[in-house]
Amino acid sequence: MKGTTMSDHKMSVHKISGLILVILSVSFFSGNAQAAEKIQGYFNSAAREVKATADPVQKREILNNEFQSVSNALNVIESMPQTSASDRAGLERYQSAIKDNQNELNGTNGYASVPDGQLNAFSNYVVQNMEQADETITISVVTLLLIIIVVILIAR
């Protein structure tokens, strides 16, 4: 590798790793339902973590972090020039559902805050709400895969 720097090597490794992740994701998630289930897995994981935590402040933090991670991923995908208009519309509806859940959790924008004693039940509600959103919001498989990849990268 004469003439290359360590940063060139790191960038190359990073690009290759990203490409491998995309290829594995595409080969692993062969359909829309499976990709949507993967996103649901993030919310299910957060719900399990909430239930395993006793402190209501930590429960809220877990949920807020999950909402923010998925919201950030949606923003990244929505801003990509290759995202179709129909996918953008779906992403906006998904973003709205997440924002509504976050507002309800925190008692903002006209919502009453979820009481501390109901945070476990609320985490279950979020999982169900996002499952219903998956049924009514149409996003292409490619866009769902990109969301998953960006959420994974943001979470690291």
One-letter amino acid for residue 85 of the chain: A
| pLDDT score, position 134 | 59
Q: Are residues 26 and 103 in the same domain?
A: no
Give the single-character DSSP code of 116.
G
Q: Are residues 133 and 104 in the same domain?
A: yes
Give the count of domains, the chain: 2
Tokens of 44: 């299910």
* pLDDT tens-place string over residues 15-52: 555 555 555 454 444 444 555 566 677 788 888 999 99
Q: Are residues 17 and 73 in the same domain?
A: no
Tell me the C-alpha distance between 101 and 73, whole Å.
Answer: 16
Q: Are residues 150 and 134 in the same domain?
A: yes
Q: Containing domain of residue 25, as a range?
A: 1-30
Place of tokens 């909430």: 50
CATH assignment of the domain containing 113? 1.20.120
| pLDDT score, position 89 | 85
By CB neighbour count within 10 A (0-12 exposed, 13-18 middle, 19+ buried), where does 146 fall? buried
Contact 38, 29 (CB under 8 A): yes
